[in-house]
Amino acid sequence: MFTRTEGFREFIRLYPIVSIIIAIHIVLYLFTVLPIFPNYWFFEHLSGVNLYIWKGEYWRLITPTFLHSGFAHMLFNSISLLLFGPALERMLGGGKFLFVYLVSGLIANLATLVFEPLSYTHVGSSGAIFGLFGYYLAIILFRKNWLSRQNSQVILVLCALSLIMTFLQTNINIIAHLFGLLGGFLLGAIPYYNKRELSNSIKDVTTWASGKRKRITVKSPLKFLFWGIVILIVIIGIFSQK
């Protein structure tokens, strides 16, 4: 489920929203290092600065989700999205996936605005990525037919490790991580109460999964171990950055 076997063009075709978000990460990073603009321009105008948001620059509640403080920060968050985003995009469809991603990031940034001081400044997509984890948790609790037991266990372990490392690493926006996770979970849990929509969604995803089972099933133990190590390294990298 979290291993990628697609070629570059096939990945873009199957997961256009994930591809576009990663492309934005890369382009914005290049703009901060290439001598096209002053290096500080994008951080000055797009980063999340609580004082400026309270003064009416509300776009800063969204733009920090796509901006990163350095190459490693951008790389690890982009790889994390590459690993965890495609399966959810296929389950939800591009529009719903983008909605979950952006709203989770918005909730994380709103919480940061409320609970952090006026001088607090932040960038990074970790809040939105935690929203994806939260949505996966809602699937495990309310839509058990969507995921196999093995994949559910993997997600639970990753969420536990992510939460633990949130509190162990320095320079982490803990508020954004926690509220991003909560926001994604609520977005996944609310449709549970619409039984008709839930029934149709499960039928659609079950149909898709049966047709794509060979694509998402990990048959090789060595391959599973390899990707497990990659995912663990990515998590460590994410939470070693601000």
Assess contact for 235 and 158: CB atoms under 8 A. yes
Q: How far apart are the first and last CA of the chain?
A: 28
In the residue annotation, 126 being an active-site residue is answered as: yes
Q: Are strands 48-49 and 121-122 parallel, antiparallel or unpaired?
A: antiparallel
In the residue annotation, 19 being an active-site residue is answered as: no
Assess contact for 2 and 227: CB atoms under 8 A. yes
Active-site hit among 126, 152, 162, 201: 126
Active-site hit among 25, 68, 122, 177: 177
CB atoms within 10 A of CB 188: 24
DSSP string, 66-134: G--SSHHHHHHHHHHHHHHHHHHHHHH-HHHHHHHHHHHHHHHHHHHHHHS-TT-EE--SHHHHHHHHH
CB atoms within 10 A of CB 82: 18
C-alpha dist (Å) from residue 127 to 23, 62, 146, 218, 220: 18, 11, 24, 28, 32
User: In degrees rounded to 5, what are phi and psi of residue 122?
Assistant: -150, 150
Q: In angstroms, rounded to a whole number, what is the distance separating the alpha carbons of residues 212 and 234? A: 26
> Which residues neighbour 237 within 8 Å (Cβ) at sequence distance 6 or greater?
72, 75, 76, 79
Catalytic residue ranges: 126, 177
